[in-house]
Structure 1
């Protein structure tokens, strides 16, 4: 190594090289695991919820007269915009 390169720079370069090699090895292993996975697992990434077997039931709540008036006022206000 040239004389003007400090020992800290040499250590930093060595650490960066080791981290790069470790990242490449991990990436290659991940690609191999995904390539060998069954097709169903490849379509649904981790953390994704499975599809629902049936549609959810509709939810509703009755509104009081005051709430209905307030809602009508909001609809009129948004209609003007």
Structure 2
């Protein structure tokens, strides 16, 4: 026990420390309880302004290239591949 600290100060520090630990434990229990309740209610929460999401993407689009366009594209790919 330090010489310059009275017994009353040590007891006060111990009481404050104990109160802080009890407060922290209480807050943690409250947070866990409310988080568990929020997780249970989560599927019921819906945003009415957002449209429902489509189940699949848009249809695929494709374009047939002429032989000249295919050659030009192949040349572009070769030129970009050389960099």
TM range (shorter): 0.3 to 0.5
What TM-score comes out, normalization by structure 1 length?
Answer: 0.46
The structure with more radius of gyration: 2
**Which fold has the larger relative contact order, with Cα–Cα distance below 8 Å and residues 6 or more apart in sequence?**
1
